[in-house]
Structure 1
């Protein structure tokens, strides 16, 4: 990383939360970032060219508010107006007119969350607009799920201010955010972004090596490839694969991950015994490794048809609502056991207790 030239006149690493956040791109991730920041008390300004952006952001904030009320992070009598959050101690949400542009969202923001589509040229174009409106001390955090920050920095006037802050859907509930620095990123920008994410109840994980896909997506892609092959080859259906995950190892992963789960599978011998017993199976030709099935129109239609059958008439909104309720209750259970993501929830509860007058 290069030396830092970010001006800290108006912000410092010691600040609890940014006073204002700009969000560029109001899709699934951008709208959810907006909700998390606002519910933490931060004023958020959102830029998106879509005429439906304001409605989508309002719907997402409402879903996030319901989830946080279920978690006990918010009092139950606050309301969300059509234009955003306007009551209580929450931050305000302003969704700009479709033609306002990214510079307007960046104006006055200490942190700008870039959430535009996952194409390098689109992101680099967004940075040009963002930098035209951003203050000298602003940090830009890209939500890219796999593009290296060094590639994103090409063409930037102040590349030292850009970091990757890759969150997970739904951002207002899942605490992990992968933090990745590019070759020209300033360490102070990384520290500021990390501190702000932490103050918002996130669990920043510093990815020490700049690699495509970072950590999480490389793991997810391996599972995704194998799942696609199983459907492609007629071995299993979409629903059967999901049953295997959600009724089996998915429940273990939610609390212990892969390695700790296997440590418990080794009996009294722990992880060493597990490796000695099961390592030979790694040489069996079970997986398709890195081969990917061709996504022909016929295969795509088969996937879609099975996914729709699995939904059994439930809309995406209904599925997301069920997901949020389940995640909230799982987080509460983990919090009660002082384990995993529950620790992040406990820390966020402590931070919000005075703001929302929560019971201790």
Structure 2
């Protein structure tokens, strides 16, 4: 359920130490945001990238044109970043800005480091979205499994309708931190809330993750529709019925229905399905205009929705949940069904009650 931010007492307002693991667009944008309120360090495996950032003050590869704050420290030394998050005046945060494919490995490395040192943190928060293509697991399932030797560590997901570039540009944004641990929610709010950023709290981790995963698939469908020139009526129908799919799938996995009418459900879906910065929408647009998925990927355009669509459909079938839009997207992306035929098949479905 959605919660109000807990009151923060003056004694807890200390300079928290935060380590952001991952220097892609989203990790870097969050590192910029966190540095306004916290002592922040950003880590990446790529020493060359970190060297460029340190020498120029820019992450030209992922956030071109954005000057990084002088207070943001960068490193390619993993233990240096972990030490930073565990040596502040209050328990620090680890923010994982890595893609879903790298979540398991980074959690295993964190677990090994913290177990060997005995150091403590307030918790671990990730930002990646989707279902794992091989296991069909949600990020929370992957993280908890990888951190099984440290079951006491609080975990959560930070999500919501946001493009990394706009966050880095200090434009207004509202995010949701979802965790079953109240102290972790409060720590995240202290780290990011303020100025142009509002952070809302939720205990529904599964609901927030499902909203973040499936909205990307629906955004591809909307992009395909727009690429075909089917009009704004069609896009509105896909968004609305797509939200119904997201809710059905989420409830089958134990999520709360109310979550899908908030920031990480409807809000994130509208942004991703209509925003020009949405990679998922851009993939759909290209396919709707006649390109194949392979051709789109060859151009360097990637999208989370394309990667997780098959995993979502497999898990939905196991649960007995009908996801017609997701199935249509999979047919177009992977089964050589033309976009127009997929649309025709959706339109030919029997009428039902809303």
TM-score after normalising by structure 1: 0.48
Larger radius of gyration: 1
